[in-house]
Amino acid sequence: MPSPQARAGLPGPALAIIESANLAFSEPSCYINTMIGADDFRKVLGHFASGVTIITTCDSDARPTGLTASAFTSVSLDPPLVLICVDHKSQSHPTIKERGCFAVNILSAHQQEISRRFASSRLDKFEGVAHAISDLKLPLIEGAIAHLECTTVSVHVEGDHTIFVGRVERARMDAGEPLLYFRGQYDRLASPSPGA
Ligand SMILES: Cc1cc2nc3c(=O)[nH]c(=O)nc-3n(C[C@H](O)[C@H](O)[C@H](O)COP(=O)(O)O)c2cc1C
């Protein structure tokens, strides 16, 4: 029987092959044989260059919480919708779910340290990080190049993450270069855009 790579007309060894009951691929497909390992999957995904955000919210005692996230995307222009994907293991997950609203802080190139801080599970993430609490009671991190304040309109559990779709209630932007993430490393634009 020809290998899945051969069937897909692709070279063999470098090709990662995924199989998942949740993926509705019919044969012939390159995603047939074995489940890709989590480390390899992360490496492959790391080739998709992204910006970096901090997702923030407050718990029922008004304590701010948040995490670094690159799984953020626009969903709809009318109505204005975005989505974020949050790991079930994240300690911010229950609060984001229960609170029903969240802010997306799009980080600037000089906020690498803040990104590292919010990518850990420490409890004092906001200590020393300049932020304001908005009228919607959401923490907005100073120095971010854009803020979006969202009300959760739907929640989808997929695998080990939850997709939160948020309606954008307020949004603002500032000048500045974005922080980038590519192949597991922080980076910045080679030539900043004129508006930065
Ligand atoms: C650049 C970068 C992007 C990340 N993107 C996500 C993401 O989209 N969703 C997620 O759940 N975790 C993401 N993480 C991992 C979380 O930030 C990390 O697990 C963090 O410890 C979660 O904090 P918490 O457990 O206090 O909520 C990312 C980490 C980095 C460094």
Please say whether the beta carbons of 52 and 179 come within 8 A: yes
**Does residue 180 line the site of ligand 1, with CB under 6 A?**
no
**Residue 36: per-residue pLDDT:** 84
Residue whose CA is closest, atom 25 of ligand 1? 90
* Cα 144 to averaged position of ligand 1 atoms, centre (Å): 17
**Residue 192: per-residue pLDDT:** 72
**Residue 52: per-residue pLDDT:** 98
In the block, residue with structure tokens 């019919």: 26
Q: Which one, of 46, 52, 63, lies nearest residue 99 by Cα?
A: 63
Is there a cis peptide before residue 28, judged by omega within 30 degrees of 0? yes
**Residue 67: per-residue pLDDT:** 98
Domains and CATH numbers, the chain: 1-47 (no CATH), 49-182 (2.30.110.10)
Q: Which of 53, 56, 68 to mutate to test the pocket of ligand 1 (most atoms within 8 A of CB)?
A: 68
**Residue 73: per-residue pLDDT:** 98
**Does residue 107 line the site of ligand 1, with CB under 6 A?**
no
pTM here? 0.85
Angstrom CA distances, 47 to 120, 174, 182, 187, stand at 22, 27, 6, 13
**Residue 54: per-residue pLDDT:** 98
**Does residue 55 line the site of ligand 1, with CB under 6 A?**
no
Q: How far apart (Å, rounded) are the C-alpha atoms in residues 166 and 141?
A: 19
**Residue 7: per-residue pLDDT:** 45
**Does residue 108 line the site of ligand 1, with CB under 6 A?**
no
**Does residue 91 line the site of ligand 1, with CB under 6 A?**
yes
**Residue 173: per-residue pLDDT:** 97
Q: At a CB cut-off of 8 Å and minimum separation 6, what does 101 contact?
A: 57, 136, 138, 149, 150, 151, 152, 166, 169
Quick: pLDDT tens for 59-100. Answer: 999 999 999 999 999 999 999 999 999 999 999 999 999 999
**Residue 34: per-residue pLDDT:** 63
**Residue 3: per-residue pLDDT:** 43
> Which residues of the chain, if any, have pLDDT below 70?
1-34, 194-196
Three-state SS for the chain is: CCCHHHHCCCCCCCCCCCCCCCCCCCCCCCCCCCCCCHHHHHHHHCCCCEECEEEEEECCCCCEEEEEECCEEEEECCCCEEEEEEECCCCCHHHHHHHCEEEEEECECCCHHHHHHHCCCCCCCCCCCCEEECCCCCEEECCCCEEEEEEEEEEEEECCEEEEEEEEEEEEECCCCECEEECCEEECCCCCCCCC
Residue whose CA is closest, atom 16 of ligand 1? 119
The pair of structure tokens assigned to 3 is 């290998």
**Does residue 162 line the site of ligand 1, with CB under 6 A?**
no
